[in-house]
Structure 1
Amino acid sequence: MSLVKKFATVGGATLGSRIFGFVRESLMAAALGTGPMADAFNAAFRFPNTFRRLFAEGAFNSAFVPLFAKEIEQQGMDGARRFSEEVFGVLFTVLMVLTIAMELSMPFLVRTVVAPGFLSDPLKFENTVSLATIMFPYLACMSLASMMGGMLNSLHRYFAAAIAPVFLNIILIAVLAYAWYRGMDAVTVGHALAWGVMASGFVQLAIVWIAVRNAGIKIGFRRPRFTANVRRLLVLALPAAITGGITQINLLINTNIASGKEGAVSSLVYADRIYQLPLGVVGIAVATVLLPELARALRGGHRQEADNLQNRSVEFTLFLTLPAAAALLVMAEPIVRLVFERGRFTPESTMIVSHILGIYGLGLPAFVLIKAFIPGFFAREDTRTPMIFAGISVAANVTLALTLFPRLGGAGIAIAEVVAGWVNAVLLFGTLVWRGHWGRDIPLLTRIPRLVLAAAVMAAAIHFAIDWLAYPLSGAAPLSVRAGTLAALIAAAMVVYFGIAFASGGANLGMVRRNLKRKGAKPVPEAASDE
C-alpha cells in the first residue's frame, strides 16, 4: 500500500471521528453554552484525556511501536506476543494503581492542578470533582487500547485503531439527544456525558482487542515483571510521553490558567475542536503511519527511503494544511456561527471563540509539522532530544500565557500555544538537519513558497467574498442558507488554492501519481524533473 493511501486510511477514519465530534460539540454547545457546567465538564474531561495523550498515545505510539516491530523482525510473531504480554502485565498493574490513587485524591487535584480558579464557585468546583471522578477510568481503557493500537499499526493494520475513537462521539451524541428529548437540566446533562465518556472507553478497548485477536495475536495476562524489554520500553517511554503529549501538556496548563475567567475554558475547547479537524486528519495520520514505516526503513539500512518518507510526509502535510490554516484565519467567525451558535451558545460566544480559532489557524502548520518531525527521532530510538525541546516549548507557553491572559483572556492563551508550537517545530527540524538526518529535497524546497502563495491568494479571496456574502453568512439567515453558503465558499476556495498550486508548480499531477503509486518497500526518489 502506498504512503498516501496509508495516510488516507488513517486520515479517513479520523475524519469520520472529527465529523461526529463536530456534531457532538454542536449539541453540547446548545445544551451547555459557555456556562459554568460547560467549564466544569471540559476541565474534568481534559484531565484524563491529557494523561491518555501523555502516557498512552505519546508513550506507546512512540516507544512501543519500534520495539514491537523489532521483535516481529527478530523473534517472529511468537516473540512479539511474549513481549506484548510482558508489557500488558506491567501496564495493567500500573494503571490500576494510578486510577485508584487519582480517584482518592481528585478534590486535591482539581483544586491545585486542573482548575484552581473554580474555587471561587463552590458548585462549579464540586461538579468538576464529581465529573472527573466518573471519567478517570477512561484513562485505563484508552491506555490499554493505545498499546493494542500500536501493535496493529506495526502489523500495518491501521483502520481499527483509527476508527475506534468515533464511538466516543457516537455515544456522547446519543446521550445529548436523549437529554434533549427528556429536557434535562445542565447539571444532569453534564453527569450523563461523564458516564458516556467512561462507557466509550470500554467500547473502544473492545474494538482494538478484537482487531488484535483477528490479526493473530492473543494477549494473556502475565504477572508484572520488569524484563529487559520492558525496562527498555520504560526508558524510551517516559521522554516519549512528554514529547508526544506536548500539546496536551500545554492544554492542561492553559486550562489551569483559564479557569480564572468565566467561560474561558469552554471557549478554548470549542475552538480547539474545530482546528483539531485538519490537525487530526492530516497530522495524526502522518504520525501514525510514518513512525513504523520510518523505523522499518532505518532498520533495513535504507537511508534514501527514510529521507524520501520524511520529505514526502512534509510535502503532504503542507499541501493540505496551509489552505486549512489560511481558511481558519479569515473565516473563523462564519464557521463558529454555523457549528455552535444556537441554544445557550450566544453571538457573544461566537465572537470570542472565532477570535481564538483564527489565532489557532496561525499555529496549525507548526502543530502538524511537529507530528511529521518527531518520528525522525523516535524511529532512531532518540526520545531525549524531543523531550528537551518539549520542555522549552512548555516554558515558552507558560510564560506567554501568564503574561497575556490577564489582558487578552482566552486569546492570550491561544497566542501562547501558537508561539510554543512554532518554537518546538523549528527546534526539531533544525536538529534533524544539523545531524544529517534530513535529506535535502530541492523539489520540496521550491514547492513550499508556491504553496504559501496559493494559500495567501485563497485567503484574500475568502476575505473579500465574506464581505460580499455578509447576510447569507450572518446569524439572521436561516441555517440551511448559512450552511449552503459556507459550503459553496469552501468549494470555491479549494478551486482557487488547488488551481494556483498546480499552475505555479507548487504541486503537479506527476507528484501526486508517484505518491499514490509508491510502494513502501522501494520508493522512487523525487527528482528535480518534477519541476
Structure 2
Amino acid sequence: MSYGITNAFIPLYNTMLTSKTKEENNYFINNLITIITIIALALVLFCGIFTKNIVSLLAPTIAKDNYSLQQAIFMFRVMIISIIFIGAQSVLSGVLQNHNHFTEVALGPISPNIVNIIYLLIFINFYGLIGFAVFTVIGFLLMLLILVPRYIKLGYKYRPVINLKQEEIKLLFINVAPIVFSTSLAQINIFILRIYAGKLPQGGISSVEYANKINMLVYEVIGQAIILIVYPKLGKLLNKDTYDGFNKEVAKGIILILLLTIPAAAALLLLGESVIAVYLMRGNFGYSEVLQTAAVLKYYMPTIIFYGIRDLISRAFFSINKAKTAAINSIICIGLNFLFAPLFLQVLGAPGLALGNSLAVTISCLIFYYQLKKETKLFLEKRLLINVCKIITATIIMTTLIYIIMAYVSSSLWLILTSFLLGVPTYFASLYGLKFRDFKELLKIK
C-alpha cells in the first residue's frame, strides 16, 4: 500500500510543482497526510477487533494451538500499528523523490529490515517473538523519521487539515486503487503462499517466510533503489511530449536492474546456506532448518530479477496514465500463482511454493514487457541481449571464484565477507574486460 500511495502521488505532485504555489502544494500534502493517517487509524482499530479471524485466515495451522494463537494475536495487534507510520512515510517519500532527494528514500525500506536483523542477532534470546513485534514497529517508525529532516529543509511544515473535496485529493484516490493493487503484488503473492504454506508440516511456514524475507531484502536494496531514481524522471520526460527520452530512461533502468540483480541472485544461490546460518541459526533454529530454508530460497531467486523489472515497467505505465494495464497484469500474475502454488506444492513441498511464485512473476513480467513495447514503441532487444550475455559471462566468472573460496573457507560469516570483497571487484573487472560500454550511460541516471 505504501508503494501504491507513493506511486500515485509522484506523477500528480510532479505536475503540481510546475502549476501550483508552494503554499498550495503544502496544503495538499498536509491534507493527504491527515486523510491517510485517519484511514490508517481506522484500519488499526478494525484489525484490533477482528484479529483472531484475520490470524486464523492467514495461518490456519497456528489457529489450532491456543498458545500459538494467543501469541500471534498479540503480535499482530502490535505490528499493525506500523501502518500509521507507513502511510505518512509514503507521502514524504513521494515529496523527496520529486525534489530529487533519493538517499533518505533509499534508506527508508532498508531500515525495518536492519532493525529486524539486529534484533534477531542480539535480542531474540532475551525478548522472543513479542520483542520482535515491538522492534518491527520501531523499524517502520525509523523509516518515517529518516525522511523528516530533509522534508523540513525543503520548506514544508505539517499542520492538520482535512478537505475531502480538494480536486487533487479526488484525482489521487481515483488513480490510487489500481496503483495500490499493482504495486502490492509482492505482498499479495506472499499472502497466497502463506495460505498454502499453512498446509505444510511444522517448519514449512517458517522456511517460506524467512526465505522470502531474505529474497525481498535483496530485491528492495537493489530494485527499489533503482526505481525510486528512475520513476520521477519518467514523468518529467513525458511532460516534453516525447517517448524517445522516456524509452531511453526505461531501457537504462532495465539494464541497470539486470546488471545488479543477476550477480546478486547467483551469489545468493551459492551462499544461501551461509547467509541463512548467519541470519537465523540460533535457539531452536538449527542446521536442518537452515537447509530447509535454503532449499526454498533457491527457488525464489528469479523473483529478485523479475520483480525489479516488472516494478519498473509498472512505473512506466503509471507515468503514461495506464495504471489499469498494470493492475490487469497483476491479476494475471496472481492467477498464475494460484494455479502453480498447489501444483508444485504437491511435488516439491515448501520449495514448490517458491518455484510457483517465481514462474508466475517471470511469465507476467514478460507479458508486461511486450505490452509496454506495444504502447511506447520501446525497442531494446539487440542491446539487451548483448548486455545480458556480458552480464551472465561476468557472473559465471564471479561465481567460479566464490565456488573456489567455498572450498577453503568454512566459517559462514567469513565466507560471505570474503566472497563479497573478492567477488564484487571480479565481477566489475570482468565486465570491463568484456567491454561493457553502458557504464557511463547508466551512471547518467540522476
Structure 1 gaps, min length 5:
1-54, 474-478, 521-531
1:273 maps to which residue? 213
Against the structure 1 CA distance between its residues 514 and 195, is the aligned structure 2 distance closer, same or farther, given a 3 Å change threshold? closer
Report the equivalent of 2:98: 154
Distance change in 2, residues 1:436/1:203 (3 Å): closer
Q: Paired residue for 1:80?
A: 25
Deviation of the 1:195 alpha carbon: 2.2
Distance, in Å, in 1 between the alignment partners of 2:320 and 2:248 is 16
Alignment correspondent of 2:295: 355
Please give the per-residue CA displacement for 1:226-263, whole angstroms capped at 9, x wherever unaligned. 43222211121111111111011000121122123321
Shift of 1:65: 0.7
Contact 2:110–2:217 under 8 Å retained in 1 = no
Distance in structure 2 (CA, Å) of the matches to 1:166 and 1:314: 22
The DSSP-based 3-state class of the residue aligned with 1:100 is helix
Corresponding position: 1:192 with 2:192: no
Distance between the aligned counterparts of 1:110 and 1:314, measured in 2?
38
Q: In the alignment, is residue 256 of structure 1 matched against residue 195 of structure 2?
A: yes
CA distance, structure 2, for counterparts of residue 396 and residue 124 of structure 1: 32
Distance (Å, rounded) in 2 between the aligned partners of 1:131 and 1:339: 21
TM-score normalised by the chain length of structure 1:
0.77
Q: Establish whether residue 512 from structure 1 lines up as the match of residue 445 from structure 2.
A: no
8 Å contact kept, 1:68–1:83: no
The 2-side partners of 1:194 and 1:331 are apart by: 28
Aligned to 1:96, which of 33, 41, 45? 41
Deviation of 1:176 (Å)? 5.6
> In structure 1, how many angstroms separate the alpha carbons of the residues matched to 2:81 and 2:337?
29
Match of 2:150 among 193, 208, 211: 211
Q: Which one of 399, 415, 418 corresponds to residue 488 of structure 1?
A: 418
In 1, are the aligned partners of 2:78 and 2:133 still within 8 Å (CA)?
yes
Letter in 2 for 1:125: L
1:71 aligns with 2:16: yes
Aligned pair count? Answer: 445
Residue type of the partner of 2:41?
A: M
Unaligned runs of 5+ in 2: none
Q: Structure 1 pair 504/70, CA: closer, same or farther in 2 (3 Å)?
A: same
**Is 1:238 aligned to residue 177 of structure 2?**
yes
Cα distance change of structure 1 residues 259 and 148 upon mapping to structure 2, 3 Å threshold = same
Question: Which residue matches 1:385?
Answer: 325
> What do you get for the CA RMSD once the two structures are aligned?
2.5
Give 1:376's aligned residue: 316
Partners of 1:375 and 1:197 lie apart in 2 by 28
**Amino acid paired to 2:154:** A
Note the alpha carbon deviations across 1:344-372, whole angstroms, 9 max, x for none.
Answer: 32111111111112112233211221122
Describe the SS at the equivalent of 2:376.
coil
Match of 2:2 among 56, 80, 85: 56
Does structure 2 retain, via aligned residues, the 8 Å contact 1:322–1:365? yes
Aligned equivalent of 2:62, options 97, 118, 128: 118
- Structure 1 residues 216-231: aligned runs within 5 Å: 216-231=155-170
Structure 2 partner of 1:415: 355
Alignment of 1:306-321 (within 5 A): 306-321=246-261
TM-score (norm 2): 0.91
Q: Indicate if the aligned counterparts of 2:33 and 2:87 stay in contact, CA closer than 8 A.
A: no
- 1:337 is aligned to 277
CA distance 1:169–1:276, change in 2 (3 Å): closer
Once the two structures are superposed, residues 471-526 of structure 1 have per-residue CA deviations (whole angstroms, 9 ceiling, x without a partner) of x33xxxxx4xx433443344444455334433333x13xx323433x375xxxxxx
Q: What SS class does the counterpart of residue 321 from structure 2 fall into?
A: coil
| Structure 1: distance between partners of 2:92 and 2:141 | 13
Pairwise mapping of residues 449-460 of structure 1 onto structure 2 (< 5 A)? 449-459=389-399
Per-residue deviation, 1:461: 5.4
Following superposition of structure 1 onto structure 2, how do residues 425-444 of structure 1 map, counting pairs within 5 Å?
425-440=365-380, 442-444=382-384
CA distance in 1, matches of 2:377, 2:25: 28
**Kindly, what percent of the aligned residue pairs are identical?**
18
SS of corresponding position for 1:315: helix
User: In structure 1, how many angstroms separate the alpha carbons of the residues matched to 2:255 and 2:114?
Assistant: 33
Instruction: Give the 3-state SS of the residue equivalent to 1:140 in structure 2.
Output: helix
* Residues 173, 386 of structure 1: alpha-carbon distance in 2 compared, 3 angstrom cutoff: closer
CA distance in structure 2 between the partners assigned to 1:220 and 1:127 by the alignment = 38
Counterparts in 2 of 1:161 and 1:331: CA distance versus 1, 3 Å:
closer
Q: 359-368 or 315-324: which moved more?
A: 359-368
Q: What SS does the corresponding residue of 2:48 show, helix, strand or coil?
A: helix
Higher mean C-alpha displacement, 363-372 vs 124-133? 363-372
Contact 2:271 2:416 in 1 (8 A): no
CA distance in 1, matches of 2:196, 2:328: 23
Pick aligned residue for 1:163 from 107, 110, 113 = 107
Classify 1:501/1:210 alpha carbon distance in 2 versus 1 (closer, same or farther; 3 Å): closer
Distance in 2 of aligned mates of 1:498 and 1:206: 35
Residue 336 of structure 1 deviates from its aligned partner by 2.7
Residues 240 and 387 in structure 1, CA contact (< 8 A), matched pair in contact too: yes
SS in 2 for 1:248: helix
SS in 1 for 2:20: helix
Q: Structure 1: how far apart are the matches of 2:117 and 2:277?
A: 20
SS for the counterpart of 1:374 is: helix
Deviation at 1:289, TM superposition (A): 1.4
CA contact (8 A) 2:120 2:280 kept: no
User: How far is 1:62 from its partner?
Assistant: 1.4
User: What CA distance in whole angstroms lies between the structure 1 residues aligned with 2:259 and 2:111?
Assistant: 30
Matched to 1:320, the amino acid is L
Higher relative contact order (CA 8 A, sep 6+): 1
Distance 1:189 1:519, change over 3 A: closer
